[in-house]
Amino acid sequence: MSAPQLSFDDLANQILAAGGGIGPSELHGFICGLLAAGARPDKSRWHRELAEFLDLDAIPADLARNALALAEQSERDLGDRNFSFQPLLSGSEELAERGQTLCLWCEGFLHGFGIGKYTGELLPTSSEALRDLAEIAQLDAASMENGAEQERELFEVQEYVRMAALNIFIECSPSPANGSDGSVSGPTLH
């Protein structure tokens, strides 16, 4: 039986209580970026990376434990052939808040991918996806207003981000599906 997933609000409260200056979406994006760059959950590395990212000297035990569990779950979800991976975003009714957490998730992903120091050659699809994530991270979501059209647009961008992260993870991860030259033998996600 798997452990219950930590909610967005519970993780936000733990980060806030620890004195961290980022939110759950940015943290999850950071973790996913590290994973996509090839890092795998390792207690000592993740504690160090998490402390640096949160700009904290020490990470409370509950936050450290939950961040490691989030990393392990994210690794499973990113590698799931059923594409079950979902970015950890706010469930707010306010479109602007949900949009902002998506932008922060992208920012965290890019930061994590950079910290992860991927050493392979990026395929064009991953390079393009990283550029797109950088553009999404810069969007001004604060101006979004609740409405059916903007709801649909946000959903489409969110789905693109989800698939881009999966694509980067699959193309950059050393796995049996990847050839020794880094090429992917399976289908590319778009």
Q: Find the CATH number of the domain harbouring 123.
A: 1.20.120.740
Give the domain range for residue 51: 8-172
- How far is 125 from 122, CA to CA, in rounded Å? 8
Is there a domain that residue 161 lies in? yes
Is there a domain that residue 130 lies in? yes
pTM across the whole model: 0.86
Enumerate the β-bridge partners of residue 184: 178
> Rounded mean pLDDT of 62-69?
90
Split into its structural domains, the chain has a count of 1
Q: Could you tell me which residues come within 8 angstroms of residue 190 by beta carbon, excluding any fewer than 6 positions away?
A: 125, 163, 167
Q: What's residue 179's pLDDT? A: 38
Q: What is the mean pLDDT of the chain?
A: 85
Given pLDDT bands bounded at 50, 70 and 90, which one contains residue 186? very low
Asked if pLDDT for residue 63 goes beyond 60, the answer is yes
